[in-house]
Structure 1
Amino acid sequence: MARTLSNDLRKRVIEAVNGGMSRRAAAAKYDVGEATAIRWVARYRRTGSWEPDKRGSGAPRSPLDGLRTEILALVEEQADITLGEIVVHLHRAHGVETSKSSVDRFFARHGVTFKKRLRTPASRNGPT
């Protein structure tokens, strides 16, 4: 995603268009994309503001983020719980439709790691 351009530049493009210049001519004059100038002017006419919209959303990234404490408590209670068991619990307790991969990504997002079992030691009976 492109970076947000300055409000001063947005204001100058919009004022040029309001002063009678075409949106494409204003885009060329201020060295911005034509589609960008068209969107800025449309937004200004719709809202009366040249300020950019907020970036990102305020909504949680996943329904699982709202259940963070419960999921982490499940793992705390039962250290060997599987992803599938967590999925079943969330469906039964909260009606949340999710998948094992979503739960795995939830743990990755929140920096939760699990120590893996050590490998089985090699056999003592080597080749003779």
Structure 2
Amino acid sequence: MGIIAIVLQSLMIFAFFFSGVGKITGAKMQVDTFRHLGLPQWFRVATGFIALAGVVGLIIGFWNEGVLALAALWLACIMLGAVLFHIRSRDPIGKMIPAAMLMILTLVLASLHFSAMTDLF
């Protein structure tokens, strides 16, 4: 299970890094998505920085499993928000699937390291 967790952690780092950078730099897809969801563009940038904070936590997680679990929960909350905004916009399920899958994968990652997170407190 250790290898699977490291692979999943690495995939989440790449996914959220590129997504966060795309939001901050104003990639057309991100700008259009936030416009479609009825969200202001400053929120797109803020969400990008929030995602990159989660990426930093995932990277620190290679050395500290508790931080990894917290960062994964942090990113899962962002993805829950994305799913809810897609629902509010009455998007088809196909548009929600990427956010929902990232939410599920980060929750799996957090659950794999949940006992380490409880040790932080």
Give the TM-score taking structure 1 as reference length: 0.24
Q: Point out the structure with max Rg over C-alpha.
A: 1
Greater share of helix residues, 1 or 2? 2
